[in-house]
Amino acid sequence: MAETVKRVQIVFQPSGRRGEIEAGKSVLEAARTLGVGIEAACGGARVCGKCRVVVETGRFEKLNLTSSADHVSPVGEAEKKFLTAEELARGYRLACNAFLSGDLVVTVPEESRSAKQVILEKGRERQIELRPAVKNVTVTLAPATLSDFRDDARRLLDALEKETGLHGLTVDFPVLRNLPEILRQNDWQATATIWQGKEVIRVAPGRRETSLGVAIDVGTTTLAAFLCDLTTGAVLAKASRMNPQIGYGEDVLARISYAASEPDGRKKLQDAIIEAINALAADMAEKAGFVADDVDEMVLVYNTAMHHLALGLDPRYVGRAPFAPAVREPLDVKARDLGVKINPSGNVYSLPVEAGFVGADNVAVLLAEEPYNSDAVKLIIDIGTNGEIDLGNKNRLLSTSCATGPALEGAQIAFGMRAAPGAIERVKIDPMTYEPRYKVIGQDEWYPVPYDWHPTVQKVGAQGICGSGVIDAIAAMHKAGVISKAGRIDAKLNTPRVRRGESGKLEYVLAWAKETAVGKDIVITQADIRAVQLAKAALYVGAQYLMERYGVDHVDEVILAGAFGSYIDKESAMAIGMFPDCDLSRVHAVGNAAGDGARIALLDVEKRREAAKVARRVEFIETAAEPDFQKKFMDAIAIPHAKDKFPHIE
In the complex, the residues that contact a second copy under the rule CB under 8 A are: 144-146, 148-155, 171, 173-174, 176-181, 184, 311-314, 316-317, 321-329, 331, 333-334, 336-337, 353, 355, 620, 622
Partner residues linked to 297 by β-bridges: 213, 347
Nearest by Cα to 592 from 421, 362, 432 = 362
User: Closest CB to a second copy among 325 and 487?
Assistant: 325
Pair 379, 546: CB distance under 8 Å? yes
User: Closest CB to a second copy among 325 and 461?
Assistant: 325
Residue 110 DSSP one-character state: G
User: Closest CB to a second copy among 262 and 337?
Assistant: 337
The beta strands (E) that lie in 452-597 are given as 464-465, 498-500, 506-511, 522-525, 557-562, 587-591
- Does residue 450 sit in helix, strand or coil? coil
Which residues are within 8 A (CB) of 363 and not within 5 positions of it... i.e. 6 or more apart?
301, 351, 352, 353, 354, 597, 611, 614, 615
Q: How far is the CB of 156 from a second copy (least distance, A)?
A: 10
- Does residue 623 sit in helix, strand or coil? coil
Q: How far is the CB of 379 from a second copy (least distance, A)?
A: 23
User: Closest CB to a second copy among 346 and 487?
Assistant: 346
User: Closest CB to a second copy among 227 and 335?
Assistant: 335
At 7, which amino acid appears? Answer: R
- Rounded to the nearest 5 degrees, what angle is found at the Cα of 561, between the Cα atoms of 558 and 565? 145
Q: How far is the CB of 92 from a second copy (least distance, A)?
A: 38
Please report how many Cα atoms fall inside a 13 Å half-sphere around the Cα of residue 195, on the Cβ side.
25
Pairing of strands 587-591, 58-60: unpaired
User: Closest CB to a second copy among 620 and 629?
Assistant: 620
Neighbours of 614 (CB within 10 A): 21
> What is the H or E stretch that residue 383 is in?
strand 378-383
Q: How far is the CB of 355 from a second copy (least distance, A)?
A: 5
Residue 352 DSSP one-character state: P
Q: How far is the CB of 151 from a second copy (least distance, A)?
A: 4
Whole-angstrom Cα distance, residue 187 to residue 142?
10
Pair 623, 400: CB distance under 8 Å? yes
Whole-angstrom Cα distance, residue 638 to residue 487?
7
Q: How far is the CB of 178 from a second copy (least distance, A)?
A: 6
Q: How far is the CB of 318 from a second copy (least distance, A)?
A: 8
Burial of residue 209 (number of CB atoms within 10 Å: 0-12, 13-18, 19+)? exposed
Quick one: the chain helix, strand, coil %, rounded to 5?
A: 30, 30, 40
User: Closest CB to a second copy among 18 and 334?
Assistant: 334
Burial of residue 109 (number of CB atoms within 10 Å: 0-12, 13-18, 19+)? middle
User: Closest CB to a second copy among 84 and 178?
Assistant: 178
User: Closest CB to a second copy among 411 and 615?
Assistant: 615
Whole-angstrom Cα distance, residue 528 to residue 154?
64
Q: How far is the CB of 538 from a second copy (least distance, A)?
A: 21
Whole-angstrom Cα distance, residue 377 to residue 477?
32
Q: How far is the CB of 321 from a second copy (least distance, A)?
A: 6
User: Closest CB to a second copy among 267 and 554?
Assistant: 267
Q: How far is the CB of 314 from a second copy (least distance, A)?
A: 4
User: Closest CB to a second copy among 335 and 600?
Assistant: 335
Q: How far is the CB of 587 from a second copy (least distance, A)?
A: 32
Whole-angstrom Cα distance, residue 319 to residue 283?
33
Q: How far is the CB of 176 from a second copy (least distance, A)?
A: 5
Q: How far is the CB of 266 from a second copy (least distance, A)?
A: 8
The beta strands (E) that lie in 64-186 are given as 65-67, 92-94, 104-107, 116-120, 126-130, 134-140, 170-171
User: Closest CB to a second copy among 126 and 155?
Assistant: 155
User: Closest CB to a second copy among 325 and 562?
Assistant: 325
